[in-house]
Structure 1
Amino acid sequence: MVRTAEQIARSKALEIRVHPKGRYLDEPFFWQADTAWEIFHRLDEREVKMYLDKRAEQGFNVIFGVLFAEHGGATLPNRQGEWPFHPKDPSAEKYYPGVLRPNEKYFEYVDFVVDYAASVGIRIAIQPVWGNYVAGIYHKIDHYFDNVDAALAFGKYSGERYPFLPYLNGGDVHRYWFDDAAFNARALKPTRGPDIKVIDYGPVFEAFAEGIIAGEAKHRPDGSQPFITFHPTASWLPDTPKPFASHLFPNSKWLTIDGIQSGHTCGYKYAPLEDPSIGTLNWFYAQNSVDLVREMYETSTRDGSLRPVIDLEAHYESTHYDFKPEKDQWKASNIRQGAWQAVFAGAAGLTYGVNSVWQMNNLNSKSHPPIPHNTVSAANWFDELDLPGATYIGIITKWFLSRPSYFTRIPDQSILLSDTFDRPVPEDDYDGKDAKLISATRDIDGKWLAVYTPEGQGFEVDTSVLQGEKLVAIWFDPRSGKETSAGTVEKGKVKVQPPSQGKDDHDWVFYVVAQ
């Protein structure tokens, strides 16, 4: 059974396209996503509606969900008691998925989630399978999808059934990895030796993309291409590319936008990324993702044109650094500061997350108890839907969509004439450069400029890039969304002092518009 023309039309109405200039998403569309990886696996219909209604109310327009769930996908059926695939051997005592035989009943429930999301203005970003089923990565698990035939078949099935939705290839995984037996998951260090060979799983991920394109082709008589990106891990092996989607797949025409996972760690005490010691796994270690967004923005190309860039998995709110209970948690202020910095650096949107929500953690569930993994949450998902970070992300979306121009925005640090705190930090400084970095963006045609100061630091800005006789300044509060007049300013060098200064909750946006 396939979805009806009416169902597919709902998804098509929400299709995301890249703007012809390449940097942003058309309409204009500001990507405001939430990670809800286990939505198909751990929620019933009532819970799906509650979750999606809340996220729609908060302004989210993209939700991430994985068809073959990372945790328990092959050990627990969904809440309706259905497996994603018929068993390879129906007579076997233990379920082993026959990945070439999708289970219609399971996907009818996926249809319900996709359709209800569309009814409240949300697109489900489809992750066909989690990367652990391809390369293992941090899981010692059967690699059900480590072959081209299975990836091609399921990619085609997904693309035909769920066209016009954004697709996430990969799934917290690197293209180049090695067998699980060579990996100590607790220490997060690979055991490298002459007998250990790095495996290139690129052909499998290419097959997923090829299948999605083939599956969607019947719905795209105009020859348009699906929206596909690659969701990488935050780590990589020595002598392999850093996990930027465009670094891992530099020649792949299917890669619509560039993406990274800045991850959930914090600190600078590990081996330098440019010269890692043998036997140490490389990681992105940073307070926020601004440097990674900058690198994507500067280097991401497609046939000579430019791709939009997005951090596909940033730090999760109310979640311990490294998922270790003895460490501090990411606060709402961390989420807000990192988000503003990333967008000012050129990101086409933001991805939010909460540890309890992505895994749909229910401490009282009898059928789907908390995940027995180092990422296990101590909170219920439904108790953390209203964390302040979700509101702050929505404020950012509204602010950018309300600018007098959208597609001509560029990052531009050159208009800042004073210290931007853009420099290396000492080891173990968890409140280092990223937390303090002052960022600037502007309209390339001189209609407006904006400066984000994360701790309310004063700065000097060059307003001569603006075109117009009168320059009107406004203070914008990222915590409340309120604007306050800052009067008029002169053209040229302008010294600015924000309304307040201090850590965590004294960040401000200084906005100047030419009239």
Structure 2
Amino acid sequence: MTSTNHPPVRRWAPLELTVDAGVALENPLQAGRLEATFTGPSGQIRRIDGFWDGGTTWRVRFAPDEEGRWHYRLQWQGRPDVAFTPDQGHFDCVAPAGQGLFQRHGPVRLAAHKRHLEHADGTPFFWLADTAWNGPLRATDDEWAYYLQVRTRQRFTAVQWVATQWRAAPDGDRDGRLAFTGRERIAVNPEFFQRLDRRVAAMAQAGLLSVPVLLWAVGGGTNPEVDPGYGLPEDQAILLARYMVARWGAWPVVWILAGDGKYFGDYAARWRRIGRAVFGDGPRAPVAMHCGGQQWPADELRGEPWLDILGYQSGHGDSAETWRWLVEGPPAREWGREPRLFQLNLEPAYENHVAYHSGQPHSAQSVRQAIYWSLLNAPTAGVSYGGHGVWGWDDGSGPPVDHPRSGTPLPWREALEMPAATQMAHLADCFTGLAWTALRPRPDLLVEQPGREDVTRTVLVSASDAGDLVVAYTPQPVTLRLRTAELAAGLAGTWWDPRTGTQHPLDFLPAGEEVALTTPGAGDWLLILQPRE
């Protein structure tokens, strides 16, 4: 048994251990498992998988979360002719350095009350994610750097992406490499994943949370077998997901275990088993399930110890029923049920995507409406945005692969700057400047609901328990009548224009049981009531 000492490692920064198996295995994923056990200075024990990285090379990646001396031990479980050296060692974890978001505050976790996400040091994390599903697969290094620069400027905080071949990228990455081949006994391609390692590291460096979909699972389209969450046997789906968790778990991530599925009945039972097998019950990054359009499998998944986020999808329709599902259906009704299941809208209507019902592309107005409603239909925690052309990493020559009804998008570079995408910066400025973690839905503050007859006029209102912060969104001009008896005294108002970020201050609210406030112009508006400094 040999022992290796390592240079100091910054808290929350990845440590990489490289070891030689001593033999080239025919199919390493199926041959066994390299387990690393890390013991922290306080005695905490963390067990994680290593992963095969080509030839006889295996690696372990680990981000320590406690300053002081750590000890580790590597243990192989599998074929007896495999020998790993060194198999134990230690390193010192020192204070973090640098001004990056994750260097200052650490990775992301679910807050104890399960109403929003927060960093390791307790700083709230506002989720504003972009759905760049194909981006890491198809982008060059330079293209990905440009994408991150634009989305950072637009104040996004996370990127959702797909980590294997799937229905919209059946041929894998831009060089035609597949994440895996086979079905009954899959074999992974390390070169495919090495390229994605650079994408994950670049997101962390840019201060953007990486949110990979491990197993797309829709089972639809022209070739359902290409989606690993649907096409692979259960044991092979587990092996593939564990492999990706081992590769990227040392970076700031939120895992989406399965994408676009309908998790009911026997299919839900399958995903409960997969979730338990992949994530177990130890410390880990948060885990989400991304549901199919207007699916709400809360009763099927509630109470699962590995699940942190029910990622619903209000989808790409524009019928009255579609909008009512978002503002009156399960997303608006069920957030208070116990045991609590934290929810986020991971896929509202994509900008410029052809709407299912009208056949017209979703406008910036339509997208903002879905996004702001999603921020206020439950305790405010965040929302995702999607741009047609960006998610498919398209060149503008035709619809995305296997999505003929979605319409021909702009080329991805142009699509990055679509109106609603640029307007996300105003949303971020507005909410992160407020005590957004205190907001809870308060429909009772409305004297009358303008959307009772026409859902596109629906106003959603949230407020703090203390009544010293109120936020209301109206998709159309309105005279808003609010009950004020339960609000704190001395509040002043501001109409916030979500298209430009322009603010229109109001006088202090008059004393009385209610107040009527009229939007200052056409379009949608955000009303903010709080004490004026």
* TM-score, normalization by structure 1: 0.76
Q: SS in structure 2 opposite 1:109?
A: helix
Q: Could you say which structure has the greater relative contact order, defined with CA pairs below 8 angstroms and 6 or more residues apart?
A: 1
* Residue aligning to 2:509: 489
Quote the offset at 1:204 in angstroms: 3.5
- Mapped to 2, the partners of 1:449 and 1:384 lie a distance apart of 34
Corresponding position: 1:295 with 2:324: no
Aligned pairs (5 A) from 1:77-116: 77-85=172-180, 87-88=181-182, 100-116=186-202
Q: SS in structure 2 opposite 1:17?
A: strand
- Please give the per-residue CA displacement for 1:303-334, whole angstroms capped at 9, x wherever unaligned: xxx33321111101111112x8x821111111
- Mapped to 1, the partners of 2:169 and 2:469 lie a distance apart of 49
* Residue aligning to 1:357: 390
Which residue of the other structure, out of 324, 330, 348, is the alignment partner of 2:381?
Answer: 348
Corresponding position: 1:158 with 2:210: no
Quote the offset at 1:211 in angstroms: 4.1
Aligned pairs (5 A) from 1:256-335: 256-268=308-320, 285-286=322-323, 289-292=326-329, 293-299=331-337, 301-302=338-339, 306-322=340-356, 327-335=359-367
- Mapped to 2, the partners of 1:459 and 1:376 lie a distance apart of 37
Which residue of the other structure, out of 446, 462, 465, is the alignment partner of 1:416?
Answer: 446
Q: What value does the CA root-mean-square deviation take over the aligned residues?
A: 2.9
Quote the offset at 1:98 in angstroms: 7.3
Corresponding position: 1:50 with 2:146: yes
* TM-score, normalization by structure 2: 0.73
Aligned pairs (5 A) from 1:393-408: 393-403=424-434, 405-408=435-438
Corresponding position: 1:454 with 2:475: yes
- Does the Cα contact within 8 Å between 1:21 and 1:407 map onto a contact in 2? no
* Residue aligning to 2:291: 232
Aligned pairs (5 A) from 1:29-68: 29-68=125-164
How many residues matched? 429
- Please give the per-residue CA displacement for 1:64-113, whole angstroms capped at 9, x wherever unaligned: 11112323644x2412342212x44xxxxxxxx67632111110011000
Give 5+ residue unaligned stretches, structure 1. 89-96, 177-198, 218-222, 236-242, 269-283, 426-431
Give 5+ residue unaligned stretches, structure 2. 1-52, 54-58, 66-95
Corresponding position: 1:373 with 2:439: no
Quote the offset at 1:115 in angstroms: 0.5
Which residue of the other structure, out of 278, 286, 298, is the alignment partner of 1:212?
Answer: 278
Q: SS in structure 1 opposite 2:150?
A: helix
Letter in 2 for 1:247: D
Higher strand share: 2
* Residue aligning to 2:458: 437
Which residue of the other structure, out of 116, 130, 141, is the alignment partner of 2:224?
Answer: 141
- Mapped to 1, the partners of 2:131 and 2:106 lie a distance apart of 18
**Matched residues, percent identical?**
21
Letter in 2 for 1:168: I
**Cα distance, 1:288–1:319 mapped onto 2, change above 3 Å:** farther
- Please give the per-residue CA displacement for 1:318-364, whole angstroms capped at 9, x wherever unaligned: 11112x8x821111111122222221222421110012111111146
Quote the offset at 1:262 in angstroms: 0.8
- Mapped to 2, the partners of 1:510 and 1:244 lie a distance apart of 31
- Does the Cα contact within 8 Å between 1:438 and 1:453 map onto a contact in 2? yes
**Cα distance, 1:339–1:41 mapped onto 2, change above 3 Å:** same
Letter in 1 for 2:193: F
- Does the Cα contact within 8 Å between 2:135 and 2:390 map onto a contact in 1? no
- Mapped to 2, the partners of 1:53 and 1:287 lie a distance apart of 36
The structure number with the bigger radius of gyration is 2
